[in-house]
Structure 1
């Protein structure tokens, strides 16, 4: 694939005079182009849904969800991975973000790292990759050697593999089991794929991780019932979640949480079923942590 064939690298005809626009004209153009991103993702929703199901399957079987990319794409994967533990109570070693060049590349580019196909392989080998894991490769161009090498290695090992790029029929799309390739078109600033392409990747990552957590019982109704109350803000959020789920005042929610060491799920189950904290926890354990299933069983 030559540079001219990359949609994400071509010049946008509507921004040829970008440097002459007023500030308001400039941000209006940015905004107009950003609106195209959800439309591009809409055509890829069946692939996104397939990725969610595969991620839930991998995590449910004890495997890991591993994001891997270079530059902006790598940073977005690390960001999404880092937000899963506090939001859904998942241990940080279960959802991992890798960036070409290592953690230092989050703040400063590491020259040549993204061009090293074998580096992607070695990074996965360092994690002791197993067939139960799922690897998601991110590259706006769809051809980053670091990502391509990693995806080929992971797929050969038997892992579920997904790619997220912004160019159709890219090398990584051909290498992965599931290809998610929203074509957002040329960037307003030519080649600056931290813009529309980065936004598209972020939106897709949001859907994959959140959707997988819903499938794994980390959500009841539309509430984050596996949130870990590790500070005052999160304890307050836990109290609000219990109150919303059970239709009770803050005092009653707080009293229930005090009996469960601020574990939200058993507190909700206690209030909705009248069971003790120990009985609520036992019911959740019996149903693999799925609150709705435990509640239905108790009420049956």
Structure 2
């Protein structure tokens, strides 16, 4: 028995080494191809002297030549995972990439959002079926805008999806107020407004809570368009709301936005509910195009597996804003919504992608600076104005569950505090320092201890009070030279020049004037901040290959994701991985019956109070050690990636030692 096991482990170790060699060759090929792309990217910074669309086409051609770009679409590529949970072949070695290479890989992944349909089983953003559904939803919104009495458009989601629901509802309500119109948009986020700033993911698992929250919000309404956002078609909170809508078709019209095929919707039974998410979606499909709508293009796996805050969040923003902006234009200018209108809007977002990544060198500088701050125990602070402040708050809030970060590692602050946020529950500062988000909070809580090991990033536009930005820049500069800026301006604008003199690096992005330019600025800022926060945590060692191995296990989705990550990296069975995870969660060497018979909700409640449960479980699996020894290993290698690599090396030495070879021959 022992000799067979050792033989298997030895073969597994040799296979891992062969896979690493294949990955090194793939990375060399990606680097060669992306160098070609950089020749086009650097021209994007001057749209007036270079054909932007030609540049985009050339870059896409270069990306398409990378053999791994479409590998995820093959039926035998990680068939056990839905698209939103697959690992992206492009980023298998992103944990070892340089800052510039990280940005290029992120650009390649984001390019997959705008991929045209290739005849595979997956529909894309530009597929006829997706555009047609978006058109029908936009016309439904238009009807509500023309006759808003007793009507409501509700956007709902969990985590990133809920934050984008809030951002979108706020944006379009503001547009209505500017026209002296009554507001018709509202948002729901699982966990309430505190989830806008912190992880409240346990609420995601409660379908009845989702249903009751929706019912209470819509009391007295006679027509509700409900838009439920779940990138993985997996959130029970949203599923409960969709199911409630289907049961009351006289009032509710449900819309589901996500990025997996219906066949990949989550199959696990939801807590306290008789249905699965897939069964709810199948019921929606039966009414598709009549009283229910599903918008679910595939945008490819995330650069960091399962990190739907990135492409999933960006594609959500593009879809929602395209649909709602088209409806507003039609309702208030007496024009018709057509597919060409929707296409033009989405191509505008495609140009946002290209213009943003034309500044890849400057983005890499920000990423590297932020990474150095995190590596030396410093902080990264976003100081933002206007709607960019919301983008900064959202990006910072997502680092805690994604990377197991402390809330002070990356923090967002907005000039007017909660007055600018304009959330339903109002000022949340009484909940603790984590909810102190105004610039005055930064001045009182952070500025006194600011040093050169911290990074401060100013985010503002030509529409903001540049005098106020300059004053804050001077105050920060007195404490640290590590001050940087991200500025969005219009062609011919020189507003940012004075502030730029105070900064170590400046990222100025110039745009043509447009009625939707503020939404384009938001998406561009999101892409930049996602790159900075993700890349800096990569440099800190929070990622192994392209997996978030230090994620917080705070809900059922993350519980199952953790098990699959353990299985993928250790090569042992899912059952063994779940046992190792439970031992880590409960900090026990032997599992009791009480533990094994408890539900996932109980497990995640305990896990939310523990740190590094996934790295501990992984070390135990890789070298077959106790929890106490695993903790010692992690203490000697505080960088998670280094700890994992050390254990893999140790495991390989163990499986290939002469003694093992001898025992194998017996």
TM-score category (smaller protein)? 0.7 to 0.9
Is 1:212 paired with 2:526?
no
Q: Does the CA-based 8 Å contact 1:70-1:99 persist in structure 2? A: yes
Is 1:163 paired with 2:510?
no
Q: Does the CA-based 8 Å contact 1:182-1:200 persist in structure 2? A: no
Query: CA 1:280/1:185 → structure 2, altered by over 3 Å: closer, same or farther?
Result: farther
CA distance in 2, matches of 1:193, 1:127: 33
CA distance in 1, matches of 2:393, 2:640: 27
Residues 226-268 of structure 1: CA deviation (Å, up to 9, x unaligned): 1111222322221122122223332111111122226111211
Q: Does the CA-based 8 Å contact 2:413-2:439 persist in structure 1? A: no
Q: Does the CA-based 8 Å contact 1:138-1:147 persist in structure 2? A: no
CA distance in 1, matches of 2:555, 2:518: 32
**Structure number, greater radius of gyration:** 2
Question: Alpha-carbon deviation of 1:125?
Answer: 2.1
CA distance in 1, matches of 2:364, 2:466: 24
Question: Alpha-carbon deviation of 1:166?
Answer: 2.0
**Unaligned segments of structure 1, at least 5 residues:** 1-6, 8-16, 109-119
Q: Does the CA-based 8 Å contact 1:60-1:216 persist in structure 2? A: yes
Query: CA 1:100/1:248 → structure 2, altered by over 3 Å: closer, same or farther?
Result: same
Q: Which moved more, 1:202-211 or 1:238-247?
A: 238-247
Residues 157-199 of structure 1: CA deviation (Å, up to 9, x unaligned): 1142221122376244333211122334322x1xx44321111
Q: TM-score, normalised by structure 2?
A: 0.38
CA distance in 2, matches of 1:250, 1:294: 19
| CA RMSD of superposed structures (Å) | 2.5
Q: TM-score, normalised by structure 1?
A: 0.81
Higher RCO (CA 8 Å, separation ≥ 6 residues): 1
Is 1:97 paired with 2:412?
yes
- Paired residue secondary structure (2:483): strand
Is 1:241 paired with 2:574?
no
Is 1:176 paired with 2:513?
no
2:622 paired residue number: 272
Q: Which moved more, 1:221-230 or 1:206-215?
A: 221-230
Is 1:128 paired with 2:449?
no
Is 1:139 paired with 2:456?
no
- Paired residue secondary structure (1:175): coil
2:356 paired residue number: 41
CA distance in 1, matches of 2:337, 2:506: 37
**Number of paired residues?**
271
Q: Which moved more, 1:241-250 or 1:86-95?
A: 241-250
Residues 273-293 of structure 1: CA deviation (Å, up to 9, x unaligned): 223222222122212233335
**Unaligned segments of structure 2, at least 5 residues:** 1-47, 49-328, 424-437, 586-606, 608-612, 654-666
1:200 paired residue number: 524
The one of 75, 83, 87 aligned to 2:398: 83
CA distance in 1, matches of 2:566, 2:513: 46
